[in-house]
Every structure is written in structure tokens, then in C-alpha cells.
Amino acid sequence: MNSSRVHFGFPAFGLGGRPRANGYIAALGSPAVTDDAASLFCPLEFRYGRESVRALFSRGSRLARVLSVEAALAAAESELGMVPRDAAETIASVANLDHVSVGRVDELERSLRHDVMAMSRALAEAAGPAGRWVHFGATSADITDTALALELKEAVGILRDDLTDLIRALASLARRHRATAEIGRTHGQHGVPISFGYKIAVAAAEVLRHRRRMDELLPRLAVGKMAGAVGTGAGFGPHAAAVEAGVMRRLGISADEAPTQIVGRDRIAEFTNLLALIAGTAERLATEVRNLQRTEIAEVAEPFDEAHQVGSSTMAQKRNPMLSENVTSLARLVRAFALPPLENMVQWHERDLANSANERIVLPHAILLTDDLLGKLVEVYRGLTVDSARMAAEIDRSGGAAMAESLLLALTSRGLARAEAHERLRTLTRGGAGSLAERARTDPTIQAHLSPEEVVALLDPATYVRAAAEKTDRILAAIDPELRR
């Protein structure tokens, strides 16, 4: 395999890419243009995800990060007089992909059968006589977990931007449709009228909560360690705390305050469970589009390339919500990835390797797919077609029954027992000739408490829609300042 190509694989420092496209291509992907494209195994190599995100996990990127940790270690030790300054400078000058190649690390690992030992030996070779100071006092997890912290910090930045883009798309749509009347539905049945904008504002607030969670989590997640074999720092002698602080300062992250040989895996479990929460919201928003795009409802439709896109290979009339269905499918997989990190919290004593293999698979996949599905949701909601006339017609189709609550409250406030008012309206909404307004105006019980004009006014959905629009405004007013942060 050509190590220069961005490759999504599972070796020590491995993975890779495709740029996000629009519409049909965004959902199904476009084959990577490579000489060995036919040999690609994982769909993330050629069907899902963005090139820029996949590159974050490329073998070269991962090797570059561990090399930067080794360079930071040598520099911190040099500052404390533990390593000669010229040796640290030499190590820093060669701790890059120009001097340490993925190919050489692979070659060494084939005989050593240890990825970090192979990397440190390759770096030591490149450093010449100064190489004897490479990895001085460190254990493998000091390097790999600290490099992982750098990787996760960058991934969080990407996902935070995705969440921000989605909030903005939802907020813009909610603002446009703040007073667009729509029937509210509970249990799949008509409830009372709302506005479509309110439905979308609720979604925007939910996504914003995930962004807050991401911000709160980052300081707990992006932590490394430089504390030796079982986390005590004994191998670094009296300078242990200063070495760790110096490394983390240079890398721009914090240290795990209480590690074993590894950084506490509760941090990673919390992160993947946050991705699962985000995926749950994503599927909810995708399902809303899928349901409202059903032929029987047809109130919204996701973007569709009318000039070229095909909905079915045989049913030429089809315009399927394929992006939303794709989001649904990927969201279910992201949620499944939350389980292995929970299992990885259980370590034998100060550490074992039971977490290592699955983390190399789980973290890149979960991050790449979360980014992918969020990007597709942004595309859906930015380009959503909203049929406001169809929404209004659906409210009218209820024949006034959707406003039964309004009559119930008015009758109760006029002196009728609530249970009696409820039973009367339950009976009246069960059918019969004419609309609820017509039946209510001639019903003796209702006539005794409300005039015909009052009945008509109470059955006007405008009051409910107006309340929804006003609440939409309040939600958006609270969201806007946070989007500027």
C-alpha cells in the first residue's frame, strides 16, 4: 500500500478519504480516484466521510502526532537538564515525516511487533547519536495517549463546527417559518396546531445542548500523560511533575490528574456516548423529514436534483428522502460504537491491551461518521422545501377538531365541569355531519355557555400558531448570542 495515499486502515497509526459533495453524491459517496480503488475494503475509504476529516486519522497524521509528543518530551527534559540541549534540538529537527517514514516504522514493527518501539527506533535512527535520548523515561502509553488527546482535540473542533452549522441552518429555517401553521402530531395523530418554525426551533435548541456538552467535555477529554509505566512518574525522578507539565504546555493540552499506565478510559466513553446522543438527535431530525415527506402528508421535501437524480431504478416517479434515510442508517451505527468504550473502562490493574484494538477502529469511525451525518443534515435543512399551503390544508382537514382543547378550556372557565366538557367534546369530535364548529354551535350544552361567534373564534387556529411563533422568537433570541461564541 502506498503510504502517501490517505488510507482508512487499522494499523498502528492508520486511516483515510473523500470530500463531501452535495445531494446524491453526499449520501452515496463518490469513489476515491486511486490506482488501487478496486482493492478498497472499508466503505469509509470510498463512500462516506470527508477527505479533510479522514486525513485527521491517516497513517501519516497519526505518526506525525506521536513524533511531536516525542519531540516535546525531549524538549521538556532538556529544559530540566535531564537531556542535553543539542540532543533535544536534534530530536525535534527530525521528529517529522521528512525524516521518519511510515514505511520505515512498518518495517521495524514487522520484526519488533510493537508499534511504539518501532516508531521510537525509527526516530532514534534519524537522530543519530542524539537518538539515545529518544523516549527517555517514557512508556508507550505516555506517547500514544497524549497523541490521542491531540487527535481528539482536533476532532472536537471539527464536530463543534458541524453542530454550529446545523444550529444555524435550523435557526434560519425556524425564523422563516415562525408563523407557518402546521398541525402538531402526537402518537402519529392530529394534536393541536403549532408553527413549523417552532418545531424547528425546538430542534435547534436540542443541537445547541449538544454543542454545550461538547464544550464542557473537551477539558476532560483532551488530556495526555507523561507519567511512566504505572502512572506514578517514578521513572522521571524528582522532575516527574515538571516533565509532564512541560510536555503538555508545549502541546497545548492538560495532563490527566490521576492516570494509571493509561489515561482514564471514562473520558473516551463519555465522548463516544456524547456522539451517540448527537446521533440520536440526528436520527430524530432525519425521521421528521422522512415522515413529513411521505406521500400521504407531503408537507416537506429534502433537496432533490430534479435534472439528474433518480429515486428508483424502476419506479420513475419516486423522489425518496435518501439523505435523511442515510443519516438514519449512519446514526444507528454511531450509537453502536458507544458500547466498546464503556467496556474498555474495565482494565486489569494498571492497564491491559483489551481496549487498544477496538479504539483504533471505534474512534475514527465514530468521529468520521458523526461528521458525515451532521453535514448531510445541514444539507437537508438548508435546502428543505416547505409546503405551507399543504400544512394549512391539513389543519383545515381536521374540521376544527384540532382546536377542541380551546373549547374545552373555555367551557371549563365558563362554569362547566371539566370532565363534562371533555366528554361532550369527545362525543362531538367522533364524527357526524358537518365540522366541529357546526356541531358545537347547535349543541345545547355548548350553547348554554358560549355564543356561536365565540365558538368560531375559539376554533380559529391562529391563536395557537401565534403562541408558537412567539415562543419560537424567544428560543431563537436565546440561541443567537451563543452562536456568536
Identity of the residue numbered 301 = A
Identity of the residue numbered 382 = R
Neighbours of 28 (CB within 10 A): 13
CA distances from 25 to 18, 50, 422 (A): 11, 12, 52
Q: What is the C-alpha separation between 247 and 228, in angstroms, rounded?
A: 13
Show the DSSP H helices in 293-403 as ranges: 322-336, 339-344, 356-382, 388-397
DSSP H or E segment with residue 415? none
Q: Which three cell numbers stand for residue 64?
A: 506525525
Burial label, 250 (beta-carbon count in 10 A; 0-12, 13-18, 19+)? middle
Give first-to-last CA distance, the chain, whole Å: 43
Residue pair 451/395 in contact by the 8 Å Cβ criterion: no
Q: What is the C-alpha separation between 157 and 457, in angstroms, rounded?
A: 51
> Annotated active-site positions, please?
187, 312
Q: What is the C-alpha separation between 113 and 107, in angstroms, rounded?
A: 10
DSSP H or E segment with residue 194? strand 189-195
Residue burial 81-114, b: 16+ Cβ < 10 Å; e: rest? ebbeeebbebbbebbeeeebbbebbbebbeeeee
Q: Maximum Cα–Cα distance for the chain, whole Å? A: 102
Q: What is the C-alpha separation between 237 and 240, in angstroms, rounded?
A: 6
Pairing of strands 223-224, 254-255: parallel
